[in-house]
Chains A and B, each alone.
Chain A
């Protein structure tokens, strides 16, 4: 803070009542503002006040660690009982909560209260104390709602940033895990925490994260999505350039890989950067399961991504332009299904895809109680009946359902959304130009993807540009056993690019060591 803004702040008045009045008026007489005036036995001539916002603080902390010590305090004989000295004495000897800070301006005091601190005022003192009594109701730590795994930790982030940071700290028990708090949002004053692993992270990228965060000027930050759109490299792209997760272990893994994590108060979703395209195909479970099944599943995911983007387009192209490419039996079977279908293939596919998107959106918003009813309507009416009524062909229903299922394979929902949108573009191109159209669009998509950066890291690395270091391929399309993955995955200027000193086999498999 520079000097000018310092001057603009209102200092606290030595008068207790003036201060209380000022606080009250700044809060507009809000009914949840609690002001407790009292006298303590130790200094009966001095009036004290405890001020806090109801619901943001933990009532028992206020009672046990602030009110009780203050009211029944016995200051040591020599302790001053006047003015600011007394505030010092209160801090030093009486208030028994962990974090207590002295404030001298009204604005600091108000901000502290809005953050859930408890303000302690003493008559005759132009300084006050803010004691950390943060609390109130919040959701307990539960299973992650979206990114579930079979093997691995079963807890996710909650809405409280302090809890979230502690969840990460419990995984990386090291002082090298640094946390930098920022306040973003003119009105919401949301806490935004930047987490990184000191000694591993690329300092340049860290500076860039700070620079981009400092540049944000917005009235409120309600979710990490607000931050994401401000700090991502490219706005006009369908591809996400930041990872997000609600899993503490995923954040910890990202930090270990040299990435920077951004946690935002009020949401369980954390951001991680930089990233590349291939990271979106990694699920935390990839690293908990054995490498063979993890690699297999990862390849399936890449295939599912391609299917969910291209399958309807390929179906349209083959059935309206390239019938000669189908085996005869399949062609005849498809032709039989298409008899009497009134729409051209493209319209039929668009119709079914849009229907599915509507169903999906409806399913998201539907009250839980009627969910099953709607799924029956969706599956039976729109699938079976539409085929029997001769409005769509059975093959198209299969294609659309498989595409929809494939889309849910993606571990990162934002990348799944990319393929959902691109699917329509590919379908239109396939309907107009056949395979030629599909290939042109795929080409343009690849050109676009190679032009993307995530905090300076090429989006398609280590594929394009090729890896600068040997061994970056070991955790891209397949995952090699842990002992073989020596390097941290991204092409960054990491302080410490190796995860382990060498790629030695584990002791049990080193025959030279075995007797």
Chain B
């Protein structure tokens, strides 16, 4: 090819590029970054609420960031999710941008009526990220979006950080991303647990930035019960302490503080506590007498944080007693959780998956009747606790004081 021809070809390509390119270019100031989405059911229609970030309010170019609220909340309704979302263009100047959506809050009513449409949207579309955290709301999801959260500018991101913090430090709930939810619902047990949010405090909403100038806030968003989802519907709630038991059973404990009393029989105040730093749960299903039994073995390790009992912890024997007390306490927590999920016939602890792995033939024969089968199951719980360190002092403060006097 001569240089002239080559140049013509080059020119053709270069001229074709601007014609084809640029068409889907989106500048940063043409998008509305959605930080949280709410799903409500209003009169049989989906009401989708959006929490849109106002970037200037967070980091302005000139001077200090303004004291205006950093987000704006509005809703659209429609028969389907996408039709509702597309209606948003009729009331906002910017294209809604969902890739950075942090959380989805689903109202109780919406969850009870079934969420298959929502899940389909997430499975089908590339711009709906499955990394969003899913929450249920007792009450309106939109109200949750309207709540400002102290310390944080963007409430959506704040709630996600709240659940991450909670999971890493107390493990009562687990951050359920859309991926986790879909993974559970498309797995063996087809059930999952989603943590819920409530607005605690007075009925006054924290929806103005000025209200944050006070040292205390009239109301705040708080994590509440765990919602149990079966297939695609909300079937019931379990309390926080029951949820902790579920976390033990499912092996999702990352770091948890367990309070225990000095007496093994669960009487008396739980004055002492241990920080569990490592926990592992092993499930072993067994068929005995026409009924499935799940052997749940928990292996945990922790640090003693508070100790107000008798005994000298410099002696290994006394540490063993403490470990025993902790084991009993963890067992009680698990039992509580187990009874709660059994009652609701929702296998959020993953027993079904365990049976399918261990005995796929038996699973095939009973998978259609799994919820009933699950509620008939027995769980044999065993815990092995190891207190790695008892801290810097041996015995409790009282005993040390007594010793000092003598």
A residues apposed to B, CB below 8 Å: 319-321, 323-324, 328, 331-341, 344-345, 387-388, 390, 393-394, 428-429, 431-433, 437
Q: Which residues of B contact A331 (CB under 8 A)?
A: 28, 33, 100
B22/A332 in contact, CB under 8 A:
no
Q: Which residues of A contact B56 (CB under 8 A)?
A: 336, 339
Q: Which residues of B contact A428 (CB under 8 A)?
A: 17
A337/B61 in contact, CB under 8 A:
yes
From known contacts A336-B59, A432-B18, infer whether A328 and B29 are also in contact, taking CB-CB under 8 Å: no
Q: Which residues of A contact B59 (CB under 8 A)?
A: 332-333, 336-337
Q: Which residue of B lies closest to A337 (CB)?
A: B61
Interface presence of B31 (CB below 8 A)? yes
Q: Which residues of A contact B28 (CB under 8 A)?
A: 319-320, 323, 331, 334-335, 338, 345
A344/B27 in contact, CB under 8 A:
yes
- 19 inter-chain pairs at a CB distance below 8 angstroms, sorted by A residue, are A321-B26, A328-B102, A331-B33, A331-B100, A332-B53, A332-B154, A335-B55, A338-B27, A339-B61, A340-B61, A345-B27, A388-B62, A390-B61, A393-B61, A431-B21, A431-B22, A432-B18, A432-B22, A437-B17
Q: Once bound together, how far apart are the Cα atoms of A339 and B27, in whole Å? A: 10
Interface presence of B24 (CB below 8 A)? yes
**Could you tell me the distance in whole angstroms from the C-beta of A392 to the nearest C-beta in chain B?**
11
Q: Which residues of A contact B61 (CB under 8 A)?
A: 336-337, 339-340, 387-388, 390, 393-394
B99/A321 in contact, CB under 8 A:
no
Which of B18, B31, B99, B157 neighbours the largest number of chain A CB atoms within 10 Å of its CB? B99
Q: Once bound together, how far apart are the Cα atoms of A387 and B28, in whole Å? A: 16
Within 8 Å by CB of B17, from A333, A340, A345, A429, lies A429
Q: Once bound together, how far apart are the Cα atoms of A334 and B20, in whole Å? A: 27
Q: Once bound together, how far apart are the Cα atoms of A370 and B235, in whole Å? A: 79
Within 8 Å by CB of B58, from A333, A345, A394, A431, lies A333
Interface presence of B4 (CB below 8 A)? no
Q: 6 tightest CB-CB pairs across the interface, nearest first?
A: A432-B21, A324-B99, A336-B55, A335-B55, A338-B28, A335-B28
A328/B60 in contact, CB under 8 A:
no
**Could you tell me the distance in whole angstroms from the C-beta of B65 to the nearest C-beta in chain A?**
9
**Could you tell me the distance in whole angstroms from the C-beta of A393 to the nearest C-beta in chain B?**
8
Q: Which residue of A lies closest to B127 (CB)?
A: A324
Q: Which residues of B contact A393 (CB under 8 A)?
A: 61
A432/B17 in contact, CB under 8 A:
yes
From known contacts A320-B26, A321-B24, A437-B21, infer whether A336 and B60 are also in contact, taking CB-CB under 8 Å: yes
Q: Once bound together, how far apart are the Cα atoms of A197 and B394, in whole Å? A: 80
Interface presence of B119 (CB below 8 A)? no
Interface presence of B81 (CB below 8 A)? no
B residues apposed to A, CB below 8 Å: 17-18, 20-22, 24-29, 31, 33, 35, 53, 55-56, 58-62, 97, 99-100, 102, 127, 129, 154, 157
Q: Which residues of A contact B20 (CB under 8 A)?
A: 432
Q: Which residue of A lies closest to B97 (CB)?
A: A323
Q: Which residues of A contact B102 (CB under 8 A)?
A: 328
**Could you tell me the distance in whole angstroms from the C-beta of A411 to the nearest C-beta in chain B?**
32
Q: Which residues of B contact A320 (CB under 8 A)?
A: 25-28
Q: Which residue of B lies closest to A428 (CB)?
A: B17
Which of A320, A336, A344 neighbours the largest number of chain B CB atoms within 10 Å of its CB? A336
Within 8 Å by CB of B33, from A319, A332, A394, lies A332
Which of B20, B58, B62, B100 neighbours the largest number of chain A CB atoms within 10 Å of its CB? B100
Q: Once bound together, how far apart are the Cα atoms of A336 and B63, in whole Å? A: 13
Within 8 Å by CB of B25, from A321, A332, A337, A340, lies A321
**Could you tell me the distance in whole angstroms from the C-beta of A322 to the nearest C-beta in chain B?**
9
Within 8 Å by CB of B99, from A323, A337, A394, A437, lies A323
Q: Which residue of A lies closest to B160 (CB)?
A: A328
**Could you tell me the distance in whole angstroms from the C-beta of B264 to the nearest C-beta in chain A?**
48
Q: Once bound together, how far apart are the Cα atoms of A99 and B319, in whole Å? A: 101
**Could you tell me the distance in whole angstroms from the C-beta of B374 to the nearest C-beta in chain A?**
39
**Could you tell me the distance in whole angstroms from the C-beta of A201 to the nearest C-beta in chain B?**
34
Q: Which residues of A contact B17 (CB under 8 A)?
A: 428-429, 432-433, 437
Q: Which residues of A contact B31 (CB under 8 A)?
A: 323, 335
Q: Once bound together, how far apart are the Cα atoms of A344 and B55, in whole Å? A: 18
Q: Which residues of B contact A333 (CB under 8 A)?
A: 55, 58-59
**Could you tell me the distance in whole angstroms from the C-beta of B21 to the nearest C-beta in chain A?**
3
Q: Once bound together, how far apart are the Cα atoms of A146 and B166, in whole Å? A: 59
Q: Which residues of A contact B21 (CB under 8 A)?
A: 431-433, 437
Q: Once bound together, how far apart are the Cα atoms of A236 and B24, in whole Å? A: 34
Q: Once bound together, how far apart are the Cα atoms of A177 and B107, in whole Å? A: 86
